Amino acid sequence: MQDFLQHFINGVSLGSIYALIALGYTMVYGILQLINFAHSDVYMIGAFSAYYGAMLLGFQNRPGIAALVILLFFAMAGCALLGFTIERLAYRPLRKAPKLNILITAIGVSLLLQYSGQVIFGADPKVFPSVLQDSVITEFLGVQLKVLDVAVLLVTFVMMLALHYLIYHTKVGRAMRAVSTNMNVASMLGVNSDRIISFTFALGSALAGVGSVLVGMKYPKIEPLMGMMIGLKAFVAAVLGGIGNIPGAVLGGLLMGLSEEMVVGYLSSTYRDALAFGILILILIFRPAGLLGRGGVEKV
């Protein structure tokens, strides 16, 4: 029981990070029906933005709330700027091109970021600045509640609350939902859909930036290919929840994190990464629209 609770806490903590990254895939898909393969590399750039930002301000080794805020700021700003730029330079010129062309471009952008990362940052791992000092807050029934896990949960929770407010209670959020259901009608009503798309890319990318800081905080080792596996898992989480569906991405992320922790805890950590592929194959066979996705029929 006590084991289970511990795995549960770890799983939710890991899952909320997957959820943050999955949101970026799902929001972009929701608006453009594009799987943005570069999203996982935007995540990587988030970690490096935070790394260099901390260096700039001398925060490499001054854990605390200030460090957390500063790192989040640099990661989010770096990612938002990059997401915006990628959309502008790579995807926008292809707005009317066949889906396949855009997909291939996305893969190209992803590779470009990975290899530029290796050239610019070097292929060797770097040590992420220490964000918060970890310690056990309380221990009940033999289950440990640690600072880092609580911080991950709090930060994710605040981000999701903010995102929910933005999407469901502001004018720009309304426009995002309108553009994602019917771009033509939205434009006729006066929405500059290109601007909304840029905003969506920046927003989704910023959330990946948050994820990169939270991961860096727990596993402080960053390198240019660090986005690949976690990006894949977040993508599977988005598909599991129903790609294009925002609550689905959160649900999918949590389920992915939980099942991964359970597999590691009760089977073997060898299966950690295989699990994601297993889940992907199962959804594609049994429920291709995902848990919260609708019917799978594309709207016309």
Partner 1 sequence: MKPILEVNQLNVYYGSIHAIKGISFHVNQGEVVSLIGANGAGKTSTLRAISGLVDSKGEISLSGQSLQTVKIYDRVKLGLAQSPEGRGVFPNLSVLENLQMGAYFRSDKSEITKDLEKCYVLFPRLKERRSQLAGTLSGGEQQMLAISRAMMARPKLLLLDEPSLGLAPMVVMQIFEIVKKLNSEGVTILLVEQNARMALKVSNRAYVLETGKIVMEGKGQDLLNDDSVRQAYLGV
Binding site for partner 1 (CB under 8 A): 171, 174-175, 177-178, 181-182, 184-193
Considering beta carbons, is residue 159 or 246 the nearer one to partner 1?
246
What H or E segment, with its residue span, contains residue 88?
Answer: none
- Shortest Å, Cβ 299 to partner 1: 9
- Shortest Å, Cβ 7 to partner 1: 36
Considering beta carbons, is residue 141 or 299 the nearer one to partner 1?
299
Considering beta carbons, is residue 62 or 177 the nearer one to partner 1?
177
Considering beta carbons, is residue 66 or 185 the nearer one to partner 1?
185
- Shortest Å, Cβ 193 to partner 1: 7
Considering beta carbons, is residue 96 or 141 the nearer one to partner 1?
96
For residue 148 the two structure tokens come to 């880092």
Instruction: Kindly give the residue spans of alpha helices, DSSP state H, lying in 57-146.
Output: 65-86, 99-121
Buried b / exposed e across 141-174, counting CB within 10 Å, b at 16+?
Answer: eebbebebbebbbebbeebbeebeeebeeeeebe
- Shortest Å, Cβ 95 to partner 1: 13
- Shortest Å, Cβ 6 to partner 1: 39
- Shortest Å, Cβ 241 to partner 1: 16
Give the C-alpha separation, 159 to 145, whole Å.
21
User: Who's near 36: CB < 8 A, 6+ residues apart?
Assistant: 24, 25, 28, 29, 86, 106, 201, 204
Q: Which residues lie across from 95 on neighbouring strands?
A: none
Length of the chain: 300
Considering beta carbons, is residue 133 or 184 the nearer one to partner 1?
184
Q: What is the DSSP letter of 93?
A: G
